[in-house]
Amino acid sequence: MQRRVVVTGLGAVTPLGNDVASTWQGLVDGRSGIGPITAFDASGLEVRIAGEAKGFKATDYLEPKEARRMDRFTHFAVVAANAAVRDAGLNIRGNNAEAVGVAIGSGIGGISTIVEQVKVMELKGPRRVSPFLVPMMILNMAAGQVSIATGAKGPNISVVSACATSSHSVGEAAEIIKRGDADVMLAGGSEAPIIPIGIVAFSQAQALSVRNDEPTRASRPFDAERDGFVAAEGGAVLVLETLEHALARGAHIYCELVGYGSTADAYHITAPPEGGEGAVRSMRMALRKAGLAPEQVDYINAHGTSTPLNDRAETDAIKTVFDAHAYKVAISSSKSMHGHMLGAAGAMEAIVCIKAIETGIIPPTINYEHPDPACDLDYVPNVARQAEVEVALTNSLGFGGHNSTLIFIRYRE
């Protein structure tokens, strides 16, 4: 009999708030977390807006010495993971530490540390390069530092699949639990891309919105006038555990994770195939593994990046998988409010699904003002909606053709 996997803890740092509660309230209120870049002088750049984690100071949560030896993306991971562990009421100690694992990834990892230390070498010479460069820049250090911070000694992995990273992290963590290699997993992702080269790189790829004069209206998934995504930073972590383990310790159970799909487009490094064929297979895989029919899904948190190609392809994919139900199911993109958190996006959007199940509120897709004939589904425009959500599905689609789908259901004994 396959082990059931439930969600018992949530933690997040986002452009809408430095915890899950404030982030969720922002989403329900339809508030944008996008604004002018303040982390550096962006006045000379084509793109001058982003989703920053406002007021976040690592030293509010970590010892100054520890914080100095971590890149910002690791700060987000450790803070979100610690918050998730507290929310779960999980006590990791000697007699259970080996049964608790970590699966936390990042899309681009310690890019700010790399850039900073290259400048140090060029200006001051190689002997001035930090001995902490490697352990600060490598992408797996988020998972490594979380294990050190929490004492989790079980399986420890770091997935990298661009914008699908943390969705894959959650899915693979569930698989680790199901096969019996851990009873509990801390799963998610983190990202800190808001530095000049990070913004310029995506801008040169023509992926970002250039609505610099109206940042709160820049991320507009499925809208006919969308012109690109808005880069954002932050971290999101879930605590997953076996149902048996959760019940034994009297944990609060948010919901159950029942479906996980993972596919590749094998098509193009940045563009989705016509009709979103890879996303179609990912959703169908997740539904098959969940034992659910498409008609049973109440809410879809779309990848919904606000790019012309992605939104159309994902809409087509949903139509292919859900047929007539595609026009009945509620769909929204929370990226319209928190921006695109890249490697942290999938876990953040999993949290949105979980909170929708818990509260009966579906966050809106804000800035939906100009209907696109190619995107003609119910995107819950502009205002949150009260609805009974028993089953929620979330898609994450990454550069390189990576696709991941997660399905959560209300917990029933």
Centroid of chain to Cα 383: 22
Q: Do 162 and 340 contact (CB within 8 A), yes or no?
A: no
> For tokens 């100009």, what's the residue?
370
Determine the straight-line distance between the first and last CA of the chain, rounded to whole angstroms.
Answer: 15
Strands 100-105 and 49-50: unpaired
- Alpha-carbon distance of 379 to 180, in angstroms, equals 39
- Alpha-carbon distance of 369 to 51, in angstroms, equals 21
Query: Closest by alpha carbon to 156, among 127, 200, 186?
Result: 186
- Alpha-carbon distance of 402 to 395, in angstroms, equals 11
> What is the radius of gyration, based on Cα positions, of the chain?
20
DSSP character string of 200-264: HHHHHTT-B---TT-GGGT--TTBTT---B-BB-EEEEEEEEEHHHHHHTT----EEEEEEEEEE
**What are the Cα distances from residue 207, in Å, to 239, 308, 310, 390?**
32, 9, 11, 34
Q: Output the six-digit token pair for 193.
A: 């891309």
- Alpha-carbon distance of 225 to 72, in angstroms, equals 33
Residues identified as active-site = 163, 303, 340
